[in-house]
Amino acid sequence: MFHAASPRVPLPPAQSSAPGVPSPRSPLAQAQPRHKPRGKQRDAFFDNAKYLAIVLVAVGHAWEPLKGDSRILEGVYTVVYSFHMPAFIIISGFFSRSFDMRPDRLKRLITGVAVPYVLFETAYVLFDRTVGGDSGKDISLLDPWYLTWFLCALFVWRLCTPILKLIRWPLPFALGVAMLASVAPSIGNDLDLQRVLQFLPYFVLGLCMKAEHFHMVRTWRMRILAVPVFAAALAVGWWAVPRMNTAWFYHRDAAQDLGAPWWVGPVMVLAMFGCSLLLTACFFAWVPRRKMWFTALGAGTLYGYLLHGFLVKAGDYQGWFDHAWLHRPLGEIFVSLVAAAVVTALCTKPVQRVFRFAMEPKMEWAFRKDAAEMARERQVREKVPA
């Protein structure tokens, strides 16, 4: 019983924990910072992985004019090509898990993938005409050229994501599709469908993965194991140079196109999928988990990916790689460092600001507002005092 004259102290308001949020009295809640986070924080691991993968992509492209003169370089080239794009595609699939046909996500797919594809496919063809001297090359959005195949593939993969998530066993299904594609040369070059279908298992694997799956390889044991695995891969790559066609790593041809019997296609799809996953896991094991000086560059990897191709092609057209000293070990190291530095610069904020009109256009004028979005805006206006 309270005394009638005693002052009443109001009780604190009842707090109900939302799903996944620790109770205010739990040790986890006590350990949480008092300030409210300003926004959704990015995971440094994924930004680090994307940056390191895009550096390997650029370095691999810079090696292409040089690798024919060095068996060691071509062996390293095949090892890098066996996992750098699979790693990038797995991450793309992982971040596509929430994609559905909601209007705002479809808009982002159009402005962030389809529009850059149209612009850069056109720009690369015009660049090839003027700098490369191929005046007869036509602009065809159905035949991706050079780097733009990835945008085309990403557009198709994301559109198929809702269907892929409905399938009971999506990864075996994707492997089956890739195996069938590897024996079907009649697919042709339209939309680079061979690559779209043969790389599909990596995207689907990313869709099926959870954050804890990445944590499984980010241990000191995996880092130690990754060293002999990569050493063995380099030895196998050196051995395979005169015995294996490098084009298998591009996933853009059927087995018959590479002069192999049809049954070799499915076998190579499964074998390369296993090898790529092993090396990708070793790559993820060595990706730093903490914030590094290059972590922020992970948000601009698409800029580095699409822009560095102009410089690589310009060097090829203008004979920059023809100098004899570049075909020696020190020259190859120099080219690798320059390629890494250039793609790093192309991922920075100033470059993003300059080319955002092409990579991330707003295009509000092109879309109608859906009813849910209009209702949200109306609620915001009603809450603001006149």
Give the pLDDT confidence of 214-253 residue by residue, as tens digits: 988 888 999 999 999 999 999 999 999 999 998 999 999 9
Element (H, E) at 124: helix 115-130
DSSP per-residue codes, 144-186: --GGGHHHHHHHHHHHHHHHHHHSSSHHHHHHHHHHHHTT-GG
342: pLDDT strictly greater than 60: yes
Task: Place 181 in a pLDDT band, splitting at 50, 70 and 90.
Answer: very high
169: pLDDT strictly greater than 60: yes
CB 237 within 8 A of CB 75: yes
67: pLDDT strictly greater than 60: yes
Q: Residues of 86-125 as b/e, b for ≥16 C-beta within 10 angstroms?
A: bbbbbbbbbebeebeeeeeebbebebbbbbbbebbbebbb
Residue 27's pLDDT is 38
Determine the distance from the C-alpha atom of residue 55 to the mean position of all C-alpha atoms in its chain, rounded to a whole number: 12
Residue 215's pLDDT is 87
12: pLDDT strictly greater than 50: no
Residue 73's pLDDT is 93
DSSP per-residue codes, 197-227: HHSHHHHHHHHH--HHHHHHH-SHHHHHHHH
Task: Place 346 in a pLDDT band, splitting at 50, 70 and 90.
Answer: very high
* pTM, entire model: 0.84
138: pLDDT strictly greater than 90: no
Q: How far apart are alpha carbons 123 and 129 in whole angstroms? A: 10
Torsion on CA atoms 63, 88, 313, 257, rounded to nearest 10: 80
Task: Place 385 in a pLDDT band, splitting at 50, 70 and 90.
Answer: low
Task: Place 345 in a pLDDT band, splitting at 50, 70 and 90.
Answer: very high
The fraction of the chain above a pLDDT of 90, given in percent, is 67
24: pLDDT strictly greater than 70: no
Residue 145's pLDDT is 86
Q: How far apart are alpha carbons 383 and 386 in whole angstroms? A: 9
Closest CA to 125 of 253, 85, 117: 117
Model pLDDT for residues 300-313, shown as the tens digit of each residue:
999 999 999 999 99
**CB-based contacts of 46: which residues, under 8 Å, 6+ apart?**
91, 94, 95, 298
25: pLDDT strictly greater than 70: no
Mean pLDDT in residue range 113-132: 92
CB 269 within 8 A of CB 30: no
CB 326 within 8 A of CB 332: yes
Q: Is the dihedral of CA 248, 250, 253, 257 positive or negative?
A: negative
Strands (E), the chain: none
Mean pLDDT in residue range 372-382: 71
